[in-house]
Every structure is written in C-alpha cells, then in structure tokens.
Amino acid sequence: MRNRLFRWAKVAGTISVLATLLTACPKPEEFPAEPVIAFKAFTQHGDSASFVITFTDGDGDIGLSDADSEVPFDTGSTYYHNLFLEYDSLSNGVWTRVNFLLPLYYRLPRITPTGQNKALEGEIAVAVKPWPIIPGSEADTFRIGATLVDRALHVSNAVTTGAVVVQ
C-alpha cells in the first residue's frame, strides 16, 4: 500500500512539474514579416494634434538608426523615411490630396527586440504641428493616412483617420 501511494505521489509530482513547465513557456506571438498597422486615435489639441497607430511586425525590423545611411536609406532615397503620412482635404464632397513643400514623412528610430522572439507590437504616436496644417484654408474637414516601411522594405497596409472636422 505504501509503495502504491509513493508511485501515485511520484506521478502526481511529475504531472505538476510538466504542467508548470508548459504554462511557464507561452508560445511566442507570430506576426507576418511585413508590418501591419491599425488606426487607433486622432486627437486635436488647439494648435497641434496627435495621430496614433498600432503596429505588428513578425521579424522585428522596424525603425532606422544613424548607421542606416547607405542606399536605400540614404538622404536622397525614398526609404530615408519609414513612416509616411498623407493629408487629404474635403472640398465640395471630393477628397483631394494636399502636397506640401515638406512632406509629412518621419524617420522612426530603430526598434529591435532582444531574445529569440523578434516579433514586435506596439504603438506609434505622431505630433502633427501646426494643426490645422493649412491655416486659413476654406476646407474644414481633413483626413490623414499612413503607411509604415520596415528595414527589409516591406510596406504595411494603409490606414486613415476618416473625416476629421477642424475644431
């Protein structure tokens, strides 16, 4: 009888240890290699605004450092920037792209996770200043769209704010 109880205790202990090990090692998140973005929020703050997106990237190659200065990331390249915002105004029921002398492009800093799992997910907030971007414009309704490019030159999906009425 005592031998039988010892065996049961041994089996129960083994199952307990296995259960602890299995729950302690959660499966890492898996995302596609290209970045995927989603619009989160757009908030107006008087003379500025905040544009926020969320992102995932399966191979963790978002952002650029100062060392990323050779082709295709040099200053003359399309990919010198990696976050691209587009600005449209609504006039007479028609959305029209607004092209600025200096486009709304940003160079996000390098984000590289440590460890074996390189998948990234997070949030990017951009301060849009001055807001509205076209002071004195007759249009009072705008939208902002965005795309994100990783170091492997994978381009994300495009997202947009929808119609934003200037307050």
Delimit the domains of the chain by residue range: 36-165
Q: What is the CA radius of gyration of the chain?
A: 24
pTM of the model: 0.79
Q: What tens digit of pLDDT does each residue of 61-106 get? A: 999 999 999 999 999 999 999 999 999 999 888 999 988 888 899 9
Instruction: Find where tokens 């590289």 sit.
Output: 112
Q: Which architecture characterizes domain 36-165 according to CATH?
A: Sandwich (2.60)
